[in-house]
A and B are shown apart, each in its own frame.
Chain A
Amino acid sequence: MNKLTIYIDDKQFQAEPGKSILEVCREHDIEILTMCHLKGVNDVGACRLCLVEIEGMSKLLSACTTKITANMVIHTKTERIKKYQRITTELFFAERNHVCAVCVANGTCELQDLGYKVGMDHIRYPFLFPKCEVDTSHPWYVMDQNRCIMCTRCVRVCNEVEGAHNWDVKNRGYQVRIISDFDTPWGESITCTSCGKCLQACPTGALWPKAIVQGQMKKNPEIIDELMERRKMIL
Chain B
Amino acid sequence: MNRQDLKTIIYAEKAKVENNKYKHKIGVCCGAGCISSGSEEVLKKLQEEVTTRGLDHDVEIIPTGCMGPCNQGPLMKYLPDHTIYQKVDCSNIAAIVQSQIIDKKPIEHLLLFADTREKPFRDAREDPFFKSQLKIVLRNCGQLNPERIEDFLVHDGYQALDKTLCEMSPEDVIAEIKHSRLRGRGGAGYPTGLKWETVYKYVNDQKYVICNGDEGDPGAFMDRSVLEGNPHRVLEGMAIAGYAIGATKGYAYIRGEYPLAIKRFETAIKQARKMGLLGTDILGSNFSFDVEVRIGAGAFVCGEETALIASIEGKRGTPRPRPPFPAEFGLWGKPTLINNVETFASISPIIINGGEWYSEIGTPKSAGTKVFALAGKINYSGLIEVPMGTSLREIVFDIGGGMQGGGEFKAAQTGGPSGGCIPAGHLDVKMDYEALTNLGSIMGSGGLIIMDQTSDMVDVARFFMEFCMDESCGKCLPCRVGTKMMCDLLQKICDNRATQIDLDRLEELAIYVKETSLCGLGGSAPNPLLSTLRHFRNEYQNRLIRHEQKDQIEVPSNIQV
Contacts and interface: CB of A to CB of B under 8 A. Distances in A.
Interface in A81-126: 83-84, 87-88, 91-92, 94-95, 124-126
B92 to A, nearest CB: 48
B518 A45 contact: yes
B472 A44 contact: no
A52 B558 CA distance: 33
B320 A48 contact: no
A131 B477 CA distance: 19
Contact of A176 (B471, B480, B509, B556): B480
Nearest to B473: A172
Nearest to B484: A174
A175 B474 contact: yes
Interface string A62-73: 100111000000
A45 B488 CA distance: 26
Given A46-B475, A88-B478, A173 B470 contact: yes
A67 B322 CA distance: 11
A51 B477 CA distance: 13
Contact of A91 (B320, B481, B518): B481
Contact of B321 (A61, A94, A172, A174): A61
Nearest to A131: B561
Interface string A18-35: 000000000000000000
Contacts, number: 106
A128 B557 CA distance: 10
Interface string B518-543: 10000000000000000000000000
Interface string A125-159: 11111110000000000000000011000000000
A1 B2 CA distance: 51
Which of A45, A61, A173 has the most C-beta atoms of chain B within 10 angstroms of its own C-beta? A173
Contact of B472 (A124, A129, A173): A173
Contacts of A44: 320-321, 475
Contact of A173 (B471, B478, B488, B516): B471
Interface residues of A, number: 39
Interface string A38-81: 00000011111001000000011110011100000000000010
Interface string B32-58: 000000000000000000000000000
Contacts of A62: 321, 518
B517 A173 contact: no
Given A48-B478, A124-B505, A150-B480, A173 B473 contact: yes
A46 B472 contact: no
Contacts of A48: 476-478, 516-518
B559 interface: yes
Given A126-B485, A129-B559, A174 B476 contact: no
A35 B92 CA distance: 68
Contacts of B548: none
A171 interface: yes
A171 B474 contact: yes
A66 B474 contact: no
A169 interface: yes
B458 to A, nearest CB: 18
Nearest to B560: A128
Contacts of B481: 91-92, 94-95, 128, 174
A83 B515 CA distance: 12
B103 to A, nearest CB: 60
Given A126-B485, A173-B484, A45 B476 contact: yes
Contacts of B505: 124-125
Interface of B: 299, 316, 320-321, 323, 469-478, 480-485, 488, 505, 508-509, 512, 515-518, 556, 558-561
Given A44-B320, A46-B476, 15 more contacts: A47-B477, A62-B321, A62-B518, A67-B323, A84-B515, A84-B516, A92-B481, A124-B505, A127-B559, A129-B561, A169-B316, A171-B474, A172-B316, A173-B471, A174-B474
28 contacts: A45-B476, A46-B476, A46-B477, A47-B477, A48-B477, A48-B516, A51-B516, A60-B516, A61-B321, A62-B321, A65-B320, A87-B512, A88-B477, A91-B482, A92-B477, A95-B481, A124-B505, A126-B559, A128-B485, A129-B560, A129-B561, A150-B474, A169-B474, A172-B316, A172-B471, A173-B474, A173-B480, A176-B480
